[in-house]
Amino acid sequence: MRPVLILTLLAWALVSVALAQAPLPGNVPPPPPAGVAPPPPSAPDGTGSQPEAAPLSASEALATAPADTQGARETPLDTETFDVRVHRRLEEYNQRREQRELEMASYADASGSDPGLERFADPRKVQVELKDELDREQTSEQLASDYAEQAREVLSKEQAVQDFIAKRSKTLEDLSKQNGSVNRQDLEVALANLARLPDSPGIQAQMREIDRRLSEAERLETDLPARRTRAQQEIAGAADELAKLKELEKSYEKESKGFAADALSAQNNRLGLADRLEYYLVRAQAEDVLEQGRKATQSVQHLSASPAVEKTLNSSGSGAKQDSDLEQLRGCLQQSGDVKACHEKARQAPKE
């Protein structure tokens, strides 16, 4: 049973590491809890059709639920307002994280009921954590992009307000240069001089034109303070709005940088989790080899010679032969006294 679990663990771990750099799948169910063998393939019945599958339990249905709910959106995120889009992203991310937490809890429960399954549950937890950090990285990048785009839009509004302030400042400058009282005095003098001239249609037309201009000058002189005040108020109001827009832009930029930092943190965590998963795989392989070695060395039986071999080697015939060789060596030495020649002769005697 343990080799099967090891192979299953290795397969899922390799797939998880390969998918760590890929986008989060939309409808791929999470792997089954560690220690639970996959159901055997169902054999066809007598009619040749496959039997109906048994209903899933609550835990199995939760484990096979899709991890990504983005496919169920009724309204595309791009068509929603900024605040609604951000809220939707965070809500969907929290839902996916809740599912992953339940999956991790199921692994913890399985390993808690059987301590022997802990070494198989730990890599599965790391796989879920890898998916969680990948989802956090991608969601943070999306939110960072949303806030950066919103900051750019606010910047364009700031430019429009600045242009309005410049326009109103020019208007106020022009109003300040106007001297309605001097213009009015000139018109009054001209009107008085025309009145002293002989009456004629031309003189009357000139008097009507000067009178119109005089009335316009009087009106402008009366409205000039109000126009100046209104221009000053509009400039002050626009400047206040500009300050608020700049503050909002800074806030958006701050949030964008914060989510970018979150994405970088998640990426670094994924690298650490990948190293941790690699450690679990190496340790699992080593423990499997050690387990096999323990079983192989637990009951070692060394091979010894059979009793017949021992009996043959210790038989008297061999002893008699050795005694005969010794007697020949002894007789040779007594006759010749040449130890080297007698020893060589005794050594060659068995070959003959």
Write down the pTM of the prediction: 0.54
Per-residue pLDDT reduced to its tens digit, 221-251: 777 788 888 989 999 999 999 999 999 999 9
In 3-state terms, what secondary structure has residue 292?
helix
Q: Decide if pLDDT at 182 tops 70.
A: no
Please give the pLDDT value at position 252: 95
Per-residue pLDDT reduced to its tens digit, 84-115: 999 999 999 999 999 999 988 888 777 666 66
The band of 300, judged by pLDDT with boundaries at 50, 70 and 90, is: confident
Q: Decide if pLDDT at 176 tops 50.
A: yes
Please give the pLDDT value at position 105: 87
Helices (H), 299-315: 307-313
Q: What is d(CA 285, CA 278) in angstroms, rounded to the nearest whole number?
A: 11
Q: Which residues of 187-225 are buried (b: 16+ CB within 10 A; e: fewer)?
A: beebbeebeeeeeeeeeeeebeebeebbeebeeeeeebe
Q: What is d(CA 27, CA 65) in angstroms, rounded to the nearest whole number?
A: 8
Measured in degrees and rounded to the nearest 5, phi and psi for residue 68 equal -125, 125
When mean pLDDT is compared across 15-19, 75-79, 160-164, the lowest value belongs to 15-19
Please give the pLDDT value at position 112: 66
Mean pLDDT of 202-228: 79
Q: Decide if pLDDT at 179 tops 60.
A: no
Locate tokens 């080297």: which residue? 340
With vertex at residue 80, the alpha carbon angle to CA 78 and CA 82, rounded to the nearest 5 degrees, is 95
